Structure 1
Amino acid sequence: MTQSTKPGKTHAKRSLERYAVALETQRVQRVQRRTMTVLIIMQIVGTIGVGIAPSIGVLLAGEVTENEAWAGLARTASTLGAALMGLPLGNLAAKFGRRFALSSGWWLAAAGSTILVFAAQLSLIVPLFIGLLLIGAGSAVSLQARFAATDLAEPHHKARALALIVWVGTIGSVFGPNLGIPGEVVGNLVGLNVYAGAFLIAAVCLAAAGLIVFVWLRPDPLLRLQQLKPHASAPTGKRRGRIRLIFAEMRTNADARYAVIAILTAQIVMVSVMTMTPVHMAHQGGSITLVGITISLHILGMYAFAPLVGYLADRAGHRITIAFGIGIFLVSLVFGALWPDDTGWIIASLFLLGVGWSFANVAGSAFFSTVVSDETRASSQGGVDALSNLLGATAAFVAGPLLALTNFSALSVIAMFVLVPLAILTLSRPRETLAN
């Protein structure tokens, strides 16, 4: 009797275990759906405020400083701010969760935008730099939101979840640079100039984004992940200890190192060429309207295809998707190198430059989230974003003298050489290492 009942008890125990696993899976999926909804709304609202920096912020820098050298430094302040905030925000997420880190970043950016209201209205140089530096926190948060989307995503859906957050950022990238018109309306109502009015709107959007994530990002996806995996992104002590772990991860984790190289290479190539294209077009006699259309198409290339890129990365593998990105980059740079004086080819080149960035960045970021260790997940993600922004700012700074000393064709060729290490690594890696 005892022997006959043991199989029945074992079967019942296994059934209960399967039911518990299925129930937990459903709970995680519900949390992930709620997380994605909150992140999408947050990203749309917040990136409207962030999108003001590279457009109206650049114009304000010229107006306030009345000096091209100072204006150039002011234009890079927001990018530098994003680089400086990336790692601290990642460490905050590791210690207190995504909700605390993301809301803190948005509110810091809102404070920067508020400072810029006074800088714009009173033509104050020091507050201008401080405000643009702080508003860079919004860019850092916008980038880290894509990693938050992957915390609880199923392994074969991580790239698509990340890509969706990247894609909705297009809305802010479109509306942010166009806050001048509503800024003028608001300015007239409250007695501010157009720049101050635009930054006032941006401050409201940034503060609202922080409120949205602070109130509704519950349960916190990273804290929930820590519950499922007790060692996932657990705090690692002092800041120096966390940084040491990140560097140790890059030395020992070949997959993570490859993903980081893909992200950084894409950023350097894209920023160096994109930054100098308006200057080159202006030297060729291109109008401001034509330059604006070209940059808009470039931004469209960066974000519009992100969901498709995420689907491809999940289905075909990250290595294949990065390889597509390298190929698109090369086509773009060949156009720029061979036909630098033809406006049509330059527009096509910049559009493809954005598409190539999308393939390499989305696939690289998704792969990094998949292979990075649980202990350094959030801090490493913040570190990658910080390094990406820092190298992007450096590339933009170096590209100016390069263009002055050579020409646009030479700049495109140099960018091709930057792609070579990533191309070699991609070709040498076995497909099964990156396949889902």
Structure 2
Amino acid sequence: MTDRAAPEVQQLQKRTVFTLAGAQILGGIGVASGAAVGALLAADLAGDAFSGLSSASNVIGGALIAIPVTKVMTESGRRPGLVLAYVIGIIGAILIVLGAALDQFAIAWPGMFLMGGGSAAGLQSRYAATDLAEPKNRGRDLSIVVWATTIGSVIGPNLAETMGDVAEKFNLARLSGSYLMTIVVFAAALILLQFALRPDPLHVAEEVDGINPALRKQKPLPLKEALALIFTIRSATAGLASMALGQAVMVSVMSMTPVHLQHADASLGVVGAIISGHITGMYIASPLIGIATDRIGRRPVIMTGVLILLASFALAGQATGHDHVQLAIGLFLLGLGWSCTMIAGSTLLTESIPVETRPRTQGAADLAMGICGATAGVVSGIIVGIGSYAMLNLIAASVVVVLSVIVVREWLTVRLAAA
């Protein structure tokens, strides 16, 4: 066991969460800056038919980048893995700027995948916040890091005009200005983590739990086995289902809402306002949801998220493209329900798996979540194309019902075992 006193660990945890939140704000600015103009840049370079490739590439890239990042975390700790993720993101942003300057989508497109490094860093940061957290505070600490993304998500897009002016001063494409900002803030996040995230929280967690890190380094858990481990633990499976299915339904409905509005000739201002409200719902209540996760329980918060999501689908699914207020409320609830399933699900997953396997299993979980989100984004377009936006919401509701069955069955198993 460790010689570290509990107060020392608690103080270190406070500093760790503060550092991760600071890096998350910077990373959020970079990710949101690129997201704000990515579709426009892709359309400029390759045509409107390719405009959706920016966000899809970023999601897929983030999921795939989680694999090497968590491998590094397993072997060397949280800090080197997060630094690697931001380095990859910086390389991606540089390629996008270069592709825009040369008017070559073939150069910019790989950069859009690599930009997913910023997203991967953000997702893994929430896990790093739980390494040293007391069980009663895990949800709160994780949610603080998630909430920090809100600040970056608000700041980033609002700098697009200013950074466009900066890019033009250097004779670069105006839309590439946002990616110049991404390079700067990703580098700042990298530096902050490199120098402030010490000692490494994963190493201290192993020390506290009396785990020999040499065993972990000698035989890192393969990705396939990491996924298999999750499915052998009922509570971990419920946590993963909450994350992955919540992500799938959120991405599917969110991505098709602008199309639904466009069919009714809604202005870009209306579309932007509704999506902004959705993003606000995703993050604004994160600290409160984290506290509820700790005080009420992981599973009750997941089920609360399920009910909120069902209400969201009922409102959005019955709204025409002219019902802007109803869609705005529905999309806000979509973000809020997603936040419940993400925070409580991530907390449940993390505490269900052994410390020495966490980086790889968490990476496997994020990969599964990313694949579900990317697949849902593609399938949602097909569903709306052959059916309707209302049908999409109905299918999303059925997916959430499946999630509720998984969580309730696991919950009952736990209660019966404790009886």
Matches within 5 A, 1:9-88: 24-68=5-49, 70-88=50-68
- Aligned match of 1:206: 186
- Whose Rg is larger? 1
Counterpart of 1:422 (choices 390, 403, 417) is 403
Offset at 1:114? 1.3
Matches within 5 A, 1:117-128: 117-128=97-108
CA distance in 2, matches of 1:427, 1:220: 36
Letter of the structure 1 residue corresponding to residue 345 of structure 2: G
CA distance in 2, matches of 1:131, 1:232: 39
Query: 1:267 aligned to 2:210?
Result: no
Letter of the structure 1 residue corresponding to residue 370 of structure 2: N
Structure 2 stretches lacking a partner, 5+ long: none
Superposed CA deviations along residues 407-432 of structure 1, whole A, max 9, x for unmatched, are 11111001011112211123334479
Query: 1:178 aligned to 2:158?
Result: yes
- Aligned match of 1:157: 137
- Aligned match of 1:315: 295
CA distance in 1, matches of 2:231, 2:311: 32
Q: Identify which range, 385-394 or 179-188, moves more after superposition.
A: 179-188
Q: Identify which range, 146-155 or 242-251, moves more after superposition.
A: 242-251
Superposed CA deviations along residues 23-46 of structure 1, whole A, max 9, x for unmatched, are 610111121111111111111111
Matches within 5 A, 1:252-401: 252-341=232-321, 342-401=323-382
Counterpart of 1:243 (choices 206, 223, 230) is 223
Offset at 1:338? 2.1
Structure 1 stretches lacking a partner, 5+ long: 1-16
CA distance in 2, matches of 1:36, 1:309: 17
Considering only aligned residues, what root-mean-square deviation do their CA atoms show, in Å?
2.0
TM-score with structure 2 length normalisation?
Answer: 0.94
CA distance in 2, matches of 1:62, 1:231: 51
Instruction: Label 1:430 to 1:383 Cα distance change in 2 as closer, same or farther (>3 A).
Output: closer
Is contact 1:297–1:351 with CA below 8 Å preserved after alignment? Answer: yes
CA distance in 1, matches of 2:307, 2:48: 40
Secondary structure (helix, strand or coil) at the match of 2:117 reads helix
CA distance in 1, matches of 2:279, 2:14: 27
CA distance in 2, matches of 1:183, 1:247: 42
Letter of the structure 2 residue corresponding to residue 314 of structure 1: D
Instruction: Label 1:74 to 1:225 Cα distance change in 2 as closer, same or farther (>3 A).
Output: same
Instruction: Label 1:232 to 1:246 Cα distance change in 2 as closer, same or farther (>3 A).
Output: farther
Identity among equivalent pairs (%) = 35
TM-score with structure 1 length normalisation?
Answer: 0.91
Is contact 1:167–1:304 with CA below 8 Å preserved after alignment? Answer: yes
- Aligned match of 1:220: 200
Letter of the structure 1 residue corresponding to residue 238 of structure 2: Y
Aligned length: 414
Letter of the structure 2 residue corresponding to residue 389 of structure 1: G
Secondary structure (helix, strand or coil) at the match of 1:52 reads helix
Secondary structure (helix, strand or coil) at the match of 2:5 reads helix
